Structure 1
Amino acid sequence: MYTRQTNQIVQSALESQAAVVLLGPRQVGKTTLALDIASQHPSVYIDLERAADRQILTEPDLYLDEQAGKLVILDEVQQMPGLFKSLRGQIDRRRRSGFRTGQFLLLGSASNVLLQQSAESLAGRVRYIEMPPLQLAEVGTDQLNKLWLRGGFPDSFMAGNNQTSMDWRLDFLRTYLERDIPALGPRIPAATLRRFWTMLAHVQGGLLNAASLAEGLGVSGQTVGRYLDLLVDLMLVRRLQPWHENVGKRLVKSPKVYVRDSGIVHALLGIGTTEGLLGHPVVGGSWEGFCIEALLAAAPAGTEAFFYRTSAGAELDLVLRLPGEGIWAIEVKRTTAPKVSRGFHVGAEDIKATRKLLIYAGEHEVPIAKDVRALPLEQAIGLLRGL
């Protein structure tokens, strides 16, 4: 077992908020974390995917009134959207009884659906926290290549060998496509959504070209948008928006799209070994997506993320607007010879970057140009965590 950094974040939030919503894709470790927290407090755990547990909450107020003073953990809470109104009343009544914090921990695997359900009911009473897969700081920097290849889902990363890890990820994909997604309501053929997901993996980190994807799938551009919204909502795909604040520049307006877990990218493309990955055309996009997810997981709350590209060739892989820390311009390259292009310098000047970084595959921090430093991924993560 690895100590998850999210654990401390959730514990701190429960000390100051009545309710915490912990979001993350299935199998990322939310339940394990919640049960660990439960072992340290008087608590009750309810899994809303189990019919018996849903039956307990047929009359939610009757049951929850009896649990006053305990931490109530509701897993897969999007299964019972009607609960949110009851939770609001429970929180308010408990506040009047002196129980102001640490009342509810809600776990969910569909972000926008869950946020829409809870936004009005629990406004001002809840904190939202996203739980990422295993991070480099949690597993150790010596495990970087293994984490990149297998991804951060715990069962995939900790598998006994690469083949067992690949088998787990293929089962994960099959379960999502055949069971989990239909359970949320969308009636999308599993084979079609699998092809769409695989097409995104092939163009990892590329600009969204809905027309090309639609043509390849034989569907409309509107349908492609619906498929993408679904995978984004399930926290399986990231839609990185373009920077939009430079008046007078001809900016690229399409978002970039990444399959968020590198291990899922590799499973979709049938890449099972580090050697196979290093020789595959997707290696650059895979490394870029892996680094971007690691950096965003380390960034402080309130950070906004973009990319920057103009028709004239200025380009930044990642732009971070950090609360109180200015704007960081970041380039990501799978190279041991650090060098940035003229387009990077132009882009950093355009956005008035206060810090300029190249994330590369070397082992040491080195200056490569005026105000530009090349860093290994773990050092860049350390910089962000230190803010």
Structure 2
Amino acid sequence: MKNLKNMKRLKPRRIANKIMSRLLKGNDLIILLGARQVGKTSIMHLLMNRLLQREKIKKNRVFYFDLEDMNLLEVVNRGVEEFIAFLEASGADLKGRCFVFLDEIQYMENPSNFLKILVDHHKEISLVVSGSSSFSIKTKFKDSLAGRKRIFEIYPLDFGEFIEFKDRKELAGFWNTGNWEKARFFEGDFLRYFEEYVIFGGLPRVSLLPTREEKIEYLKDVVNSYIKKDIKDLFRIDNPYAFNRTIKLLALHAGNSINFANLTTICGISRHTFERYLFILENSFILKLITPFYSNKIKEVAKMPKLYFMDTGIRNIITGDLNSLEGRRDSGSLVENSVFLMLLTGKGPLDEIYYWRTKAGAEMDFVLKGEGERLQGYEVKYRPFKEAKITRSTRSYINKYSPDLTCICTKNFYQDEINMDLMGFSGLNNKSKLVFLPAFFLSKGNIFCHCKS
């Protein structure tokens, strides 16, 4: 249990507001899921600070436990009665509402039963728990808490948060609201921060480290301690060499579709083992797969998934390349990976991200399918533009699906309110829009607003 007096000043995270709203509404169990070092513990401390300072909850009603501490883990594994006795011995006032934060619950032997009893029989306790393995937690939870838990997935910083962590609140404000008229005067700053974001990723601690050497050292430690050790131990991987080789190969293929036959041959493992490794890495929040969007299986790709890493810094440290974007052969796929992460953090709860490709070679990097069959397409072209021009692939996609929005993600070119008739389109629905935005300027404030009726 940590002393709340010694908590350091914490940087804000947008998702903390959503979690706090849910926490204050009722007694649902709140679960924070995400990879190590994405900020789950810091978010817990943010919530505790707000409870103490804004909500004026007394200190003897707010408790935090790190279950990596073997002594604390032993207490919770003994059962609810022992834990309640421990709370009371620690000074908890259980006569009123208490807020208990349990960090890294995947280490518990039976978290499902433990938390179910607390939720069912101790209404005075509001629980917030965190975990670093989606699969481990889901399998241990089974269905016993159906309808009584709320899961929040915690991702690395989005680009707006990254800028805020750099104490450039004015730039973050332009980004959040989509105010290009003001943001354009700071294009150089945005590009500089965006390159750092793409190369070193969005882990909160990395963004705060002052030197390149410190960032690299920290990322190496995360890869070695979490991916190569914790995940290996948690999932009982018996061939670490093949697992690590697979991780590196997948990192080199980030932004590309997966050819299972080719990759399994290169790795020297069976397809079953390869798919198991993919499953483990996706459920440990290291990478994410997206599937094709299609309406015609004969002409369009329908099966082969694409993969993206959940943090580009982690991806780059695995490949051993943290050079600047200029001159890199993989600069396009790296920026594409960052655009994917922006879409992932900005999309609505019912939105799904796909990619589109025809067997003739036409492609749209991302298709966002929302409520009411709304479609948005995103094509990453990270280079300077002098005027609004689109590729044959983009034209093919727009003609086939008449999406509500098509966005070309450029290096620094901005243009919206484009006349679709002048671009050579006819017969589209009246709501179909085409915009060109710098990749660094993708945010909920300037993208998703284009799709409003």
TM-score normalised by the chain length of structure 1: 0.90
Q: Residue 46 of structure 1: SS of its match in structure 2?
A: strand
- Is residue 353 of structure 2 the alignment partner of residue 291 of structure 1? no
For residue 15 of structure 1, the aligned residue among 24, 46, 51 is: 24
Larger radius of gyration: 2
Q: How does 1:129-148 map to 2 (within 5 A)?
A: 129-140=152-163, 142=190, 143-148=193-198
> Which sits farther off after the overlay, 353-362 or 39-48?
39-48
Whichever residue aligns with residue 309 of structure 2, its letter is V
- Is residue 375 of structure 2 the alignment partner of residue 327 of structure 1? yes
Q: Distance in 2 between matches of 1:324 and 1:144?
A: 33
Q: Residue 208 of structure 1: SS of its match in structure 2?
A: coil
Aligned to 2:184: none
Q: Distance in 1 between matches of 2:142 and 2:448?
A: 28
> Which sits farther off after the overlay, 186-195 or 44-53?
186-195
Aligned to 2:106: 78
User: What CA deviation, in whole Å up to 9, does each residue of 1:152-184 have, x standing for no partner?
Assistant: 112222222112211211121111244211331
Query: CA 1:215/1:260 → structure 2, altered by over 3 Å: closer, same or farther?
Result: same
Whichever residue aligns with residue 11 of structure 2, its letter is Y
Q: What residue ranges of structure 1 are gaps of 5+ in the alignment?
A: none
Q: Residue 40 of structure 1: SS of its match in structure 2?
A: helix
Whichever residue aligns with residue 4 of structure 1, its letter is R
Aligned to 1:372: 434
Q: Residue 200 of structure 1: SS of its match in structure 2?
A: helix
How much has 1:384 moved relative to structure 2?
A: 5.1
Contact preservation (8 Å) 2:285, 2:310: yes
For residue 31 of structure 1, the aligned residue among 37, 41, 54 is: 41
> Which sits farther off after the overlay, 206-215 or 55-64?
55-64
Contact preservation (8 Å) 2:254, 2:308: yes
Contact preservation (8 Å) 1:320, 1:328: yes
For residue 120 of structure 1, the aligned residue among 112, 134, 143 is: 143
Q: Distance in 2 between matches of 1:328 and 1:282?
A: 25
Percent of aligned positions that are identical:
26
Q: Distance in 2 between matches of 1:144 and 1:8?
A: 25
Contact preservation (8 Å) 2:290, 2:355: yes
How much has 1:192 moved relative to structure 2?
A: 2.7
Q: Distance in 2 between matches of 1:75 and 1:273?
A: 35
User: What CA deviation, in whole Å up to 9, does each residue of 1:300-345 have, x standing for no partner?
Assistant: 2221111111102331111111235811111112112254322222
Q: Residue 359 of structure 1: SS of its match in structure 2?
A: strand
Aligned to 2:300: 250
Q: Distance in 1 between matches of 2:135 and 2:415?
A: 39
How much has 1:369 moved relative to structure 2?
A: 6.5
Contact preservation (8 Å) 1:361, 1:376: yes
Query: CA 1:156/1:127 → structure 2, altered by over 3 Å: closer, same or farther?
Result: same
Contact preservation (8 Å) 2:199, 2:313: yes
Whichever residue aligns with residue 20 of structure 1, its letter is I
How much has 1:6 moved relative to structure 2?
A: 1.6
- Is residue 263 of structure 2 the alignment partner of residue 213 of structure 1? yes
Contact preservation (8 Å) 2:380, 2:439: no
Q: Residue 328 of structure 1: SS of its match in structure 2?
A: strand
Runs of 4+ in 1 over 6 A off after TM superposition: none
Contact preservation (8 Å) 1:203, 1:282: no
Contact preservation (8 Å) 2:382, 2:439: no
Q: Distance in 1 between matches of 2:17 and 2:144?
A: 26
Contact preservation (8 Å) 2:237, 2:243: no
Q: What residue ranges of structure 2 are gaps of 5+ in the alignment?
A: 1-9, 52-60, 88-93, 164-170, 172-189, 421-432
For residue 91 of structure 1, the aligned residue among 119, 123, 128 is: 119
How much has 1:247 moved relative to structure 2?
A: 6.0
User: What CA deviation, in whole Å up to 9, does each residue of 1:61-83 have, x standing for no partner?
Assistant: 21454655211111111111512
Aligned to 1:185: 235
Aligned to 2:247: 197
How much has 1:137 moved relative to structure 2?
A: 1.0
- Is residue 79 of structure 2 the alignment partner of residue 60 of structure 1? yes
Q: Distance in 2 between matches of 1:300 and 1:72?
A: 29
Query: CA 1:362/1:78 → structure 2, altered by over 3 Å: closer, same or farther?
Result: same
- Is residue 402 of structure 2 the alignment partner of residue 383 of structure 1? no
Query: CA 1:377/1:8 → structure 2, altered by over 3 Å: closer, same or farther?
Result: farther
Q: Distance in 1 between matches of 2:309 and 2:214?
A: 21
Q: How does 1:223-262 map to 2 (within 5 A)?
A: 223-246=273-296, 249-262=299-312
How much has 1:236 moved relative to structure 2?
A: 0.6
Whichever residue aligns with residue 53 of structure 1, its letter is L
Q: Distance in 1 between matches of 2:297 and 2:448?
A: 32
Contact preservation (8 Å) 2:162, 2:207: no
Q: Distance in 2 between matches of 1:169 and 1:188?
A: 25
- Is residue 161 of structure 2 the alignment partner of residue 152 of structure 1? no
Contact preservation (8 Å) 1:24, 1:131: yes
> Which sits farther off after the overlay, 117-126 or 368-377?
368-377
How much has 1:248 moved relative to structure 2?
A: 5.5
Q: Distance in 2 between matches of 1:378 and 1:300?
A: 20
Contact preservation (8 Å) 2:75, 2:83: no
Aligned to 1:172: 222
Contact preservation (8 Å) 1:309, 1:316: yes
Q: Residue 306 of structure 1: SS of its match in structure 2?
A: strand
Q: Residue 280 of structure 1: SS of its match in structure 2?
A: coil
Q: Distance in 2 between matches of 1:136 and 1:124?
A: 33
For residue 6 of structure 1, the aligned residue among 11, 15, 29 is: 15
Aligned to 1:163: 213
Q: Distance in 1 between matches of 2:139 and 2:42?
A: 25
Q: Distance in 1 between matches of 2:146 and 2:376?
A: 32
Aligned to 2:182: none
How much has 1:237 moved relative to structure 2?
A: 0.7
